[in-house]
Amino acid sequence: MAGPLDGQVAVVTGGGRGIGRAVVLELAKAGATTVINYARDQASANALFMEIVHAGGNALVVRADVSDPEQAKQLIETAEEAFDKVDILVNNAGINRDRTIARMSVEEWDTVIKTNLSSMFYCTSAVVAGMRERNYGRIVNISSIIGQSGNVGQANYAAAKAGVIAFTKTAAKELARNQITVNAVCPGFIETDMVAALTDEVKAAVLANIPLGRFGTAEEVAACVRFLCTEGGFFTGSQLSPNGGQYM
């Protein structure tokens, strides 16, 4: 594979499925060497690896639970040891444990915050030294429309994704002097496992609030990530919102 990201190395957390998988493929098509991180679904990660290799790309699969600071650090170190550097970090790993505040357990709160928010800090803090040394980097954090608007039954998810946006702005200000851009992509409702799990009634209600009248695709989100890593060099601290007009 050849393209504008030739010679660059990209780490994608939660890269084996859903939006993460689409991001890995998009960056690989643009020429990047991709590091596919996964926590549990090894089969999906390995299948993606084979797809990239068969297309002529270069990739590596690394198992790490990035909600654990030591495993997140090891992920970045493994990528740097294998390829000498990390040019692009996409903080995509995320889960949901939906419940109203009155019914939400401390464990449900903590698990989502650690996976969706703390992991971003762990991976970013591990990668910035190398990026600063080379005076170049692209960090893209996957937030959500829920972090912008809030949503009933998702206080943990909304808080984490709003935190992603605030972290993105702060990191962008801190790292700009080193030519490291930090941006957030805030997808609306995308055709992934999370949306597939919704009831038909809930899907209909969501669609009624999307002006474009459809769910987005993982590929459309991945295109935003790729843009920020290629043509988007003057974007930093920004939010791209592929949401069909649901939140403006």
DSSP per position, the chain: --STTTT-EEEETTTTSHHHHHHHHHHHHTT-EEEEEESS-HHHHHHHHHHHHHTT--EEEEE--TTSHHHHHHHHHHHHHHHS---EEEE-------B-TTT--HHHHHHHHIIIIIHHHHHHHHHHHHHHHHT-EEEEEE--HHHHH--TTBHHHHHHHHHHHHHHHHHHHHHGGGTEEEEEE---SBSSHHHHTS-HHHHHHHHTT-TT-S-B-HHHHHHHHHHHHTT-TT--S-EE--STTS--
Catalytic residue, from 38, 122, 157, 247: name it: 157
122 is catalytic: no
As annotated, the active-site residues are 157
